[in-house]
Structure 1
């Protein structure tokens, strides 16, 4: 797992996006995938993905790309740019 990538996700200097966590969870559950399976495929921790789904963490574009790839969907299906 790439925990260094996760640590960067919470820093102010990295380009951040706000994913639609509800979309991630809906897609994951519709495919009957557990957090552990998606996390393993995305090389992220299950806890991090859970936080993203619940809106408790924000993910960088690279993490969103990994999650989307693990779910087999385009990034646009889970990505909502945050204008700040």
Structure 2
């Protein structure tokens, strides 16, 4: 999946959720989440992206550059 870092950050900030809180909710490394938000991770495995979408309570399409089937 191709994560949309700008969308992830915008949704996270709109929900007043810190990167640390997102880390705790997803179990993903905070550095990894930061790189994802900054667009440094162009392709990610489905699992981390789905964990972020679930933590933000949005569909995966809202935080990726792809449409889910």
- Counterpart of 2:57 in structure 1 is 72
Q: Show structure 1 runs of 5+ residues with no match.
A: 1-16
Deviation at 1:24, TM superposition (A): 0.1
| Matches of 2:40 and 2:8, distance apart in 1 | 14
The TM-score, its normalising length taken from structure 1, stands at: 0.72
**Mapped partners of 2:40, 2:4: distance in 1:** 12
Structure (1 or 2) with the larger CA radius of gyration: 1
Stretches of 4+ aligned residues off by more than 4 angstroms: none
**Which one has a larger percent helix, Structure 1 or Structure 2?**
2
Q: Give the structure 2 partner of residue 37 of structure 1.
A: 21
Higher relative contact order (CA 8 A, sep 6+): 2
Total equivalences in the alignment: 65
Q: Residue 50 of structure 1: CA displacement?
A: 0.4
**Greater share of strand:** 1
RMSD between aligned residues? 1.0
Give the unaligned 5+ runs of structure 2.
none
- Residue number in structure 1 paired with 2:48: 63
